[in-house]
Chain A
Amino acid sequence: MSRRVAVCATAQIKNEPDIWYQRFQGMLLDCFESILSQTGVTFDMEKGIRNVVTCSDDVFDARTISDNGMTDVVGAHFRGEEKTAQNGINALGYAMAAILSGHDDLVLVMGHGKESQPESRQMCTNLAFDPFYCRPLGLDYLNASAFQARAYMEKAGITEEQLAKVVVRSRRMGAKNPYARENDLVSEEAVMQSPLMSDPIRELHTYPLTDWAVGMLLCCEERAHEFTDNPVWISGFGSCMDSYFLGDRDLSDNFALKQAAARAYQMAGIKDPKTAFDVVELNDAYAYQLPMWAEGIGLVDAGSGGRWIDDGGLEADHVNTSGGMLNGNPIMLGGLARALEGVHQLQGSAGDRQVEGAKKALAHGTTGAAGQHHGVLILEK
């Protein structure tokens, strides 16, 4: 039995602030049709797709069983559909398991996020807290992250200037990505002077509101050639859940990310994460997270994330060539977007931001307050 799964095709729409002219079904349909036309894959009961793994969220969609509204546009009529409701990176991990189990040869992964739809995404993430102790405090993912930002910045000596560099570069890289959200290029001064959202997180340190949809066709190793001449292999996946109460965690530590990465590395046979990857895509919803997660995956020594930014580590290690989450992807699809960039880089289809000869990539996704849950995916040429 093989230990790797092929990504045979990817499709996405452009990340936009408000796709008011389309419902989420329409967003998905564009991706779905693209996958079909690229690969010629069918829904034949013997040789076609029998299972679709979707990624979406009932609260953000404001619909109970929101996958009910998309079974048709993901091809799940009289076929299986299994909805994952965490960061989309877990959809890839689960789809990988479904194929490695032998139960499915092919899995279509489809994700959508329409952050423009709810009144406030802070209101949605406030609902992730328990109704008794934490929700009444007004906790949401933003201010939970602010606690973490403060703790990590203190510990690692991260400066405002370093965070500004992260944001400026994210916008610059995003501008090279035709599917990325179109944002204004900003100066370091503008970042440092942008309004405080939740101290120490500033407006420009925060991922912008975005609508997006994405699809990927995954296949067992034996049949990948039927759908592509240029497969990218998923060779490792790991995830880990941290504890719930913020006070129970050392927020400046990377407990869950370290575990998730170690599990993915073990599966993919990776010994030294500092030298293993040609491309690294991290789910940086807030600027402080980029150096922090880089430490968590072992790319950077603990406590030296700030120096790594100053020393040009982002360029040297080819981190977030896509522009990253900071340039804009919907919250749940951060990890799927990171994996998508990994696939493009390894296929050699990353255009102006192509890393020459890229052979191995890491993609990361996170869910929950201050990164309670992390997932790490390893992609290989």
Chain B
Amino acid sequence: MGYRKKNRHVGIVGVGETKFSSHREDVNQPEMIHEAVRQALDDAGITMNDVDCVVHGNMELFEMVHQPDLWHTLGSGAYGKTSYRLTTGGTTGGTLACAGDNLAASGMYDVVMSIGFEKLQEGHTTGGITNMADPLWARKLQSGALTAATALKLIEEFGPERARNAAMIYRIIMDKHACLNPNSHRAFGLDWDQMADLMENSPPLIGDLRLIHMCSQSDGACVVIFAAEKKAKQITDKPVWVRDHITVHREETLNLCNNYYPTDTTHKFAAEKLYERNGITNPLDYFDVFEMYDPSAWWGTDWLREFFLLDGDEHLKLVENKEIMIDGKMPINPSGGVIAANPIGATALVRVAEAAKQIRGDAGPHQIQKPVNHALASAFGGTMWTILMMLEKELNW
């Protein structure tokens, strides 16, 4: 039977995001979550009485609260509701979005609220991520999320000058986008004349990965409300339709030495399967915006090739020619992306929320000025895990 048509269409009817920041000391976890919940409910024009199911997710060892959804009931509105908790590391926000779609499509619930959050200030991010590795073999070798392998790969393939330039162009474009987004954590106001200085003087982290390339540690929460077709149309006159989603994880040790991709990456694998089953032959032409989970400028630059199934240096040209800018051919992360704000459990859900806002046309100062009908959002986590979600303006497939 293979991949089938969904039982019911599902639309996004409300989104909410907190301001992202390195320190949200003014709020505790439930209070911070409540900000995003309140905003999403107001955005949808509904109350908690209309919500059938609450889905919660984060990475619990970062804040060291066991089963935090229990405490967060104070701010999440989950009291008296059906609730699920899903947690898949960096991809958690993506999993929450897939769950919102699945649960609403199943017929079991009409309105599903997905909540992703992280308060990294209350934990230790690199320590937390290092603790992911196998305690017997790999933990001593771990450098958390800090890796220069992708930089090395790009430099080997395209030479140091071109590769470093492309990564820095990517970085500055993301900062220019972040400066338009009032929720951004980091928005420096970087400009092109700083490129040489940043490449030379930004503190090195590991290999060719410098502090300026790397995403932040952020506090923040994101909420997306999903509704089955009939209900979605009652709630709003501009639901954003979830067309399809795919999750591809990768095994840890089998691919430990796989940085040079002798086989497909999960990004490419996921993209190929998703496009194939939805009849998309040229993703670069099809999509109007891509909200990508880009933890560093090196990864963002490199991954464009995988997600859009590009050949040779086409992905570098997209960056070098600034086609990924908000007014370019393929805007990437008009929100500023993960480099600008990374509250990990929320991050991938933010990508979906931001993509939905672009389709609705109400993203604010970072709204793409051309019509946005087709959007793609990605999640990344674990050992190169991928989730891709396709959003549509029209229900016409």
Contact = CB atoms under 8 A, between A and B. Distances in A.
A70 to B, nearest CB: 9
B227 to A, nearest CB: 14
Interface string B1-32: 11111111000000000000000000010000
B135 interface: yes
B80 A259 contact: yes
A contact residues, range: 35 or more
B254 A85 contact: no
Given A69-B252, A240-B81, A47 B2 contact: yes
Nearest to A267: B108
B1 A47 contact: yes
A65 B131 CA distance: 9
A85 B98 CA distance: 16
B106 A98 contact: yes
Contacts of B251: 71-72, 76-77
B252 A72 contact: yes
B249 A102 contact: no
B69 interface: yes
Given A103-B6, A127-B66, A131-B65, A240 B80 contact: yes
Nearest to B123: A64
Interface in B253-311: 253-254, 266, 269, 273
B contact residues, range: 35 or more
A256 B70 CA distance: 13
Nearest to B70: A368
B312 interface: no
Nearest to A132: B28
Contacts of B109: 97
A60 to B, nearest CB: 8
A100 B108 contact: yes
A219 to B, nearest CB: 11
Contacts of A78: 248-250, 266, 269
A308 B60 CA distance: 41
A372 B66 CA distance: 14
B78 interface: yes
Given A97-B102, A100-B7, A241-B79, A64 B61 contact: yes
A211 to B, nearest CB: 17
A59, A69, A125 — which one has the most chain B CB atoms within 10 A of its CB?
Answer: A69
Contact of A1 (B3, B7, B54, B102): B7
Interface in A281-321: none
B249 A77 contact: yes
A45 to B, nearest CB: 7
A243 B73 CA distance: 6
Contacts of B74: 243-245
B67 A102 contact: no
B85 to A, nearest CB: 5
A340 interface: no
B381 A65 contact: yes
A86 B85 contact: yes
Contacts of B39: none
Interface of A: 1, 3, 45-47, 51, 57-59, 62-65, 67-69, 71-72, 76-86, 90, 93-94, 96-103, 105, 124-125, 127-132, 222-223, 237-245, 255-256, 259-260, 263, 267, 367-369, 372-373
Task: In the A-B complex, list the 5 residue pairs whose CB atoms are closest, starting with the nearest.
Answer: A80-B247, A65-B89, A101-B105, A100-B106, A72-B251
9 contacts: A45-B2, A69-B252, A82-B88, A82-B98, A86-B83, A101-B8, A101-B103, A102-B105, A242-B79
Given A84-B84, A100-B106, 13 more contacts: A58-B61, A59-B61, A63-B135, A64-B62, A65-B59, A80-B248, A100-B107, A101-B101, A101-B102, A101-B106, A130-B65, A255-B80, A373-B70
